[in-house]
Amino acid sequence: MGRQRSLADLSYTLVIGTLALLALLIIVVPVVIVLTTSFTEGRSLKFPPTGFSLQWYAELFDASKSRQIHRAVYNSLEVAAWSTGFGVLLGSLAALGLARSRHKLARVGDSFFMSPLVLPGLTFGLAALMYFTLIGLRPSLNLIIAGHMIVTVPFILRTTTASLSQLDPALNDSSQSLGASWFYTLRRVTLPLIAPGIFAGAFLAFMASIDNVPVSLFLSTARTDMLPIRMWGMMESTLDPRIAAVSGVLIAASFLLMLIMEWTVGLTRRMRD
């Protein structure tokens, strides 16, 4: 009996351990490989890379050779900044409005605002393209900003609502009973306490906008090129080796951002809960 059990436990450790290790490898290895190949001296992206050089990075940062990529990066940053800004404003207002409401409509509103998360993005992207074209709007960054705001605001709404639900309602009541106005209470009591939640949501929304494919695919044009769509173009048909350098930069950037967010608002803790 005892031996049987230890045998079973051994097989458990072996099987679960192997699968978990495989999972870790499959998560980490591709990222490491891309980072290494981006420093290759050769013209193709093989692993192990032949020699060490910064040639693809040099070409990527060359303003005249990679003008299209730079344009796409600026567009993506601009769209992400504006859509996150509008999202924070409208999203946190809506969260404040809905979180304390007991009305049935509040729950309907909440699922309505969350629905872009489950709805296939491509369907919305195509719908937005048809809508904007048929009402006579010409493609522009503004339309992409609007589209991104819709699909990223759920992140802001979710984290802000979570912070609000942890807020002690007594704080609000005591502030108001001490004579503070509704707006003063919002500014001096509620907002400082839910700020980390809003900030975490804004960060997730910003990253989701930078990485958005389905909406940009339909709304961007050659003039309003977005980074993920540009990168897709660099991988289709012939592989443009600069994509490895772009990837390297993005890996470094997300690693840094992740560290910063971890130190400031404890991002992983927020995503786990």
Partner 1 sequence: MTKAAEWQLALPLALCFVSLFLAPLLLLIGVSFFDDDKITQPGFGQWVKFFGDPFSYKVIADTLLLGVKTVCATVLLGYPLALVYLDAPPRLQKILIFVIVMPLLLSVVVRTFAWIVMLGRDGVVNQLLLSLGIISEPLRLLQTELGLVISLTQIEMPLMLLPLISVMSRLDPNLRDASAALGASRWRTLFTVIVPLSMPGLVAGCLLVFASSTTAFISQTVIGGVRLIYLPLLIWQQSLVVFNWPFAAVASIALLVSVLTVVSALSWLGRRSSGHLQG
* Minimum CB distance to partner 1 smaller for 54 or for 260: 260
* Minimum CB distance to partner 1 smaller for 54 or for 108: 108
Shortest Å, Cβ 108 to partner 1:
10
Shortest Å, Cβ 73 to partner 1:
12
* Minimum CB distance to partner 1 smaller for 64 or for 102: 102
* Minimum CB distance to partner 1 smaller for 18 or for 53: 18
Shortest Å, Cβ 134 to partner 1:
7
Is the preceding peptide bond at 48 cis, omega within 30 degrees of 0? yes
Shortest Å, Cβ 79 to partner 1:
14
Shortest Å, Cβ 21 to partner 1:
9
Shortest Å, Cβ 58 to partner 1:
20
* Minimum CB distance to partner 1 smaller for 194 or for 244: 244
Please give the radius of gyration of the chain, using alpha carbons only, rounded to the nearest integer.
24
Q: Which two tokens stand for residue 93?
A: 């207002």
* Minimum CB distance to partner 1 smaller for 5 or for 138: 5
